[in-house]
């Protein structure tokens, strides 16, 4: 990362409908001057859409949902795709899968979160699961955004991102 460029971050989960979408929207909102976030899934379902409860908690928090859509990680491994600096898996399934060869050999890390879309209970309880996941992600992303620039350089970024998984 140079002082004039944004750090490109790709968040991955299996279906790209909940956790990775939340992370993309959060980082683009919170870190818009230093980061550009994207999200994708290892195997999004045909006609997959972002989870409506995830979109609702983002909107309630005042975070834009414009342009959010479910997509395959193949979009980011193809020629002409934005070059990623950091790729973060946010679900255990995606972390264990064989990933594409990413152009530019980006740093990688796993930040596991429980899937809020798998919760049982009332609509209010399901919405609360999404809210809790969003706030847990927000805390970790605040740490990433607050890091000194030298911790975001290519040679140390992987260790930095993996250390944040412990926080």
Which DSSP symbol is given to 72?
B
CA of residue 97 relative to chain centroid, distance: 16
Catalytic site residue 3? no
* E strand spans, the chain: 7-13, 35-41, 86-89, 107-110
Residue of 91, 94, 137, 144 marked catalytic? 91
* 15: number of Cβ within 10 Å: 22
Catalytic site residue 13? yes
Give the whole-angstrom CA distance, residue 146 versus residue 167: 14
Catalytic site residue 158? no
Q: Residue 84 has which token pair?
A: 């990623």
Give the whole-angstrom CA distance, residue 141 versus residue 76: 21
Residue of 13, 68, 161, 164 marked catalytic? 13
CB under 8 Å to 105, separation ≥6 — which residues? none
Contact 51, 117 (CB under 8 A): yes
Residue of 61, 81, 99, 156 marked catalytic? 99
Residues annotated catalytic, as ranges: 13, 91, 99
């Amino acid at each position: 990362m140079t002082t004039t460029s944004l750090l490109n971050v790709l968040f991955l989960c299996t279906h790209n409908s909940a956790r990775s979408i939340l992370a993309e929207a959060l980082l683009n909102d919170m870190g818009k001057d230093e980061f550009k976030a994207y999200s994708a899934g290892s195997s999004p379902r045909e006609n997959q859409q972002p989870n409506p409860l995830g979109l609702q908690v983002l909107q309630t928090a005042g975070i834009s949902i414009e342009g959010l859509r479910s997509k395959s990680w193949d979009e980011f491994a193809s020629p002409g795709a934005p070059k990623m600096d950091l790729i973060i898996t946010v679900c255990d399934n995606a972390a264990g899968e064989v990933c594409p060869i990413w152009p530019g050999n980006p740093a990688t890390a796993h930040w596991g979160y429980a899937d809020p879309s798998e919760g049982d209970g009332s609509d209010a309880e399901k919405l609360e699961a999404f809210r809790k996941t969003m706030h847990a992600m927000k805390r970790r992303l605040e740490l990433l955004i607050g890091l000194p620039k030298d911790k975001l350089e290519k040679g140390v970024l992987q260790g930095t991102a993996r250390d944040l998984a412990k926080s």
